[in-house]
Amino acid sequence: MTDLRSLSRETLAAELAALNLPAYRADQVFAWLQKRGARSFAEMTDLSKADRARLAERFTLSACAAERKLVSAQDGTVKYLFRLADGEYVESVVMRYRYGLTICVSTQAGCKMGCAFCASGLGGFSRDLLPGEILGQILEAQRDLGEMISRVVLMGMGEPLDNYGNVLAFLRLISHPDGLNISLRKISLSTCGLVPRIHDLRRERLGLTLSVSLHAPNDAVRDRLIPVNRRWPLAELLPACEAYARDTSRRISFEYALIRNVNDSPACARELAGKLRPILCHVNLIPVNDVPEQGFVRSPAAAVAAFAAELEQRGLPATVRRRLGGDIDASCGQLRRRQTMQNLGTPGAPAPLK
């Protein structure tokens, strides 16, 4: 059965018209699903019981149930582990900034990209999320917190451009005036570099911010960290980014996780500055979250500062990302991995959560 929350405003109207429901019903149902975060048809109390029953016969409502919630004592960051209807788990993180709440949502359960330093891929790939399931993370977090979310980053588990159709449908739903009505200017999408999809996204002219997980100044280093680079090397990725910035007039945000003795030397910084100079962009430096299995360790603070200074000196704007929620495993994939290993009774699974 079709997930009603995943349907566009137009398709929803057509489906309800086909059931001989009056047009205003589509307005009500869209608001229930998109704005009010209804979890069931029974909640839609301004519809007749008979209408609710007819909807329930033909459609499902994607579920996104908070299985665990962790709140950082340090900075108020909230992490949710959501359980989807089929038992898959995804994670979302809500961060508190001066200008409001930002949520980081997942777009897939698991990931196929296999980046060497990333926890999300370790458990393998399960499936794409539906538009309604990406939206559901935001609706459930708002409902739980009793506060509105003002910014969204598609930077949780999964590769958004590997679930392109559903992610695009989600972007249309969330920015719909009758839905949550969050401007695409307040949304960032992060990709590890699926070049053909970057070009597709550019042609959509959506006005969202594109973040690119670069993490390396050359193919030798990037091949090792991000397998996708072997398919679309920097000679293809960087021109795609340049075209995106040019055609959308939006600054690209390059993510660069600093890993000790892998990509954090001053020579790396100089090489990076040289390659990014023609692009309207900004570099976001992230001290890597240690991955002991791979021998990846965070760069010392002095190396991070020196790296940033090299970039700035060469005219490349750079910031060092503040680390939020360090006490609650707030980074991508960490919690799902823990939950899955526990469910499977995997020996050596990380300590259980309280």
Nearer to ligand SAH, 34 or 107 (CB): 107
* Choices 92-100, 141-149, 178-186, 281-289 (CB under 6 A): range interacting with ligand SAH: 281-289
The residue from 4, 63, 109, 118 that contacts ligand SAH (CB under 6 A) is: 118
| Half-sphere CA count of 85, side-chain side, radius 13 A | 13
Indicate whether 213 belongs to the interface with ligand SAH (CB under 6 A): yes
* Choices 2-10, 115-123, 242-250, 265-273 (CB under 6 A): range interacting with ligand SAH: 115-123
Indicate whether 289 belongs to the interface with ligand SAH (CB under 6 A): yes
Closest distance between ligand SAH and the C-beta of residue 155, in Å? 4
Neighbours of 66 (CB within 10 A): 15
276, β-bridge pairs: none
Q: Given CA atoms 275, 277, 272, 104 in this order, what sign does their dihedral have? A: negative
The residue from 288, 308, 316, 318 that contacts ligand SAH (CB under 6 A) is: 288
Indicate whether 66 belongs to the interface with ligand SAH (CB under 6 A): no
Indicate whether 155 belongs to the interface with ligand SAH (CB under 6 A): yes
66 vs 151: CA distance, rounded Å: 20
For strand 281-287 and strand 318-320, is the pairing parallel, antiparallel, or unpaired?
A: parallel
Indicate whether 101 belongs to the interface with ligand SAH (CB under 6 A): no
For strand 252-258 and strand 209-213, is the pairing parallel, antiparallel, or unpaired?
A: parallel
310 vs 313: CA distance, rounded Å: 5
151 vs 94: CA distance, rounded Å: 10
- Candidate list 64, 241, 268, 332, residue with the active-site label: 332
**Residue 154 corresponds to which amino acid?**
L
Spatial contact of 198 and 213, defined as CB atoms under 8 Å apart: no
Nearer to ligand SAH, 135 or 286 (CB): 286
The residue from 138, 286, 303, 318 that contacts ligand SAH (CB under 6 A) is: 286
* Choices 26-34, 62-70, 184-192, 234-242 (CB under 6 A): range interacting with ligand SAH: 184-192
* Tally of residues, the chain: 354
Q: Helices 234-248 & 266-276, crossing angle to 10 degrees?
A: 50
9 vs 2: CA distance, rounded Å: 14
Tokens of 332: 């991508």
Tokens of 60: 């499902």
The residue from 159, 264, 310, 329 that contacts ligand SAH (CB under 6 A) is: 159
Indicate whether 126 belongs to the interface with ligand SAH (CB under 6 A): no
Nearer to ligand SAH, 136 or 287 (CB): 287
Indicate whether 264 belongs to the interface with ligand SAH (CB under 6 A): no
- Candidate list 15, 64, 91, 115, residue with the active-site label: 91
The SS3 call for residue 77 is coil
Indicate whether 191 belongs to the interface with ligand SAH (CB under 6 A): yes
Closest distance between ligand SAH and the C-beta of residue 243, in Å? 19
Judge whether 332 counts as a catalytic residue: yes
Write out the DSSP string of 214-254.
Answer: ---SSHHHHHHH-THHHHS-HHHHHHHHHHHHHHH---EEE
Total binding residues toward ligand SAH, as defined by CB under 6 A: 17
Indicate whether 102 belongs to the interface with ligand SAH (CB under 6 A): no
Chain residues in the site for ligand SAH (CB under 6 A):
113, 115, 117-118, 155, 159, 190-192, 213, 255, 257, 286, 288-289, 291, 332
Active-site amino acid positions: 91, 332
